[in-house]
Structure 1
């Protein structure tokens, strides 16, 4: 891969995740403060990510894989997305906002697969080359959060002045830029003959359901869905929580979670080889419980370090469970069901699991809303902490240890 191509792919990844991190992280605060949305309404907004994940395989399977170059579809989706982000910035009530965010996420979620497709098509050794491209996505997410805090859009005064709407304008510009830039990317033609029949089960990876006959994989599959319930609490509630209790530069501080992803990704091979798959997964689950207990009992004053540690645990929570899970799934599936199995796990987690999780998080958040519009955050965070602990206990009991060879996911 030449230097020009690597630069193009790296910039593509940077913009792709700059866009997502530039509005999604502060969405909960925007909904509560700008649109006066309830917890249930916030859950509806966040659930658009899940609906996008469920619909994405149809867009990829029916259009991208069969009729048009991936880079051209990527460009069109981001150009239309820029218009929707601009419209979201100018909404003043939830009823007007929801159709825009739903439409946007249905368009955005397929682009996550498209940027990977464009990248892999240019690589002779993806296992070695892809991480050096993908890391720019993480950098993009971090810089987006840093800019929001630098401009003080997430500060107490900035939130009161409605400045969080600027996040949508910023990312609309980035989306338009990526949309135009996408047409200059290396050509990535369709991989499937447009006359070849593709079934719904092929697109959703449902043929991998045969793997559920394996009791260990079945329980891992169930645990993957269940652990997404506490994960949804993090995405939906962390920004409103930090803003409400008075943490300054909260969006920048939340980017510590993405920074830790890089660190724990480097530690994962050692931990996986030394302790095995089951212990790696359990470490990730335990981190969920510890994180939410730190959120429950930390504060913006002397105990602010507890909140920072909780945020920094994101890398351990995510990498040790989800990346390890991708490796485990790849190993169990074999060559025949490799792609189908990964698609099924993605559908189960970002689709079904997060959909349930956002709804549960919204209901519990509304339950602990006081008359003065503040929340009993200690009670709210206790729920996902003990739920994650329960999933971990079930995993200890029902998942039998098995030796899995580590391979880079």
Structure 2
């Protein structure tokens, strides 16, 4: 397709402020359709679920539609979609539920590549259970997470392998299917952090081999809602702590308190928005999502090639990692300037980027930048255009030169 970037950008009111939003890895802007869906939910009125009146039934419909939308996005089933405040909160909840089955001598395998939300909950749960933690290491030069190392890391006592589908700092896309296959060969479960991966291309949880797949809607044009997707039969085997009268059926047994129903309506609208990125996409919503997100990925990587090439040509700019498969995300430093100074310089020129460790705590330690301010992160999503790239490159060139 010819990616209609003008139409896509027009859907995002925030983009009219004159800034280049290259901070999508920390959270995307919101299209009008999502804003309107949230507002309409509040205008129509809703009550809590299980009530005898229409406003309660409206809330129940919002929840059902949200579960179906998330399932369509990642290739799951709505009965396996657990909704919550964010990925971190949900991962803590699942770590506690899963660790209840671990015993001293059991092992879990984590990766240095991951966001700390897919590291620390498991480290802490393992410590309470007396389980050992084994680490998959990244190659500092390339930013890769070699899959072949899992042959030595995964064994008969492995209970869980947690790994990211894409690094939020380096953009690296590990070979998750190969890692999952090794884990499943010994009966271990696989928990995949898909927060950074989901916005940047089609997702198929079955193809990944993910027993649990976590994602956050605010990374793909939705509100601040997280979700973990799993097979309902697997969820049935877990018994999280919950209030006595709260639902016991899955997926509700994992959801604490009253849901933010208006935001859930926004999640559904965000999925519909993604499904329509390619106007030529046809078929079911799932089919349209696969087509549209493939088109978005190709568009992002095309412009990212220019971004990375431009940075590589600059004296004094250090780029961390060069993975073979990656999202449109770059992590770099400029000699003579702290990452925060670079971010502030760019912000003065209306270019939004992030600086610091970006919660890639283990990875920035391996790279040797965690204790010196981390680095600068810039990334493209489907609403960025070439002018955003050029503005970043011009500003960094001025600073580096």
Greater share of helix: 1
TM-score by length of 2: 0.29
Judging by fraction of residues, say which structure has more strand: 2
Q: TM-score, normalised by structure 1?
A: 0.28
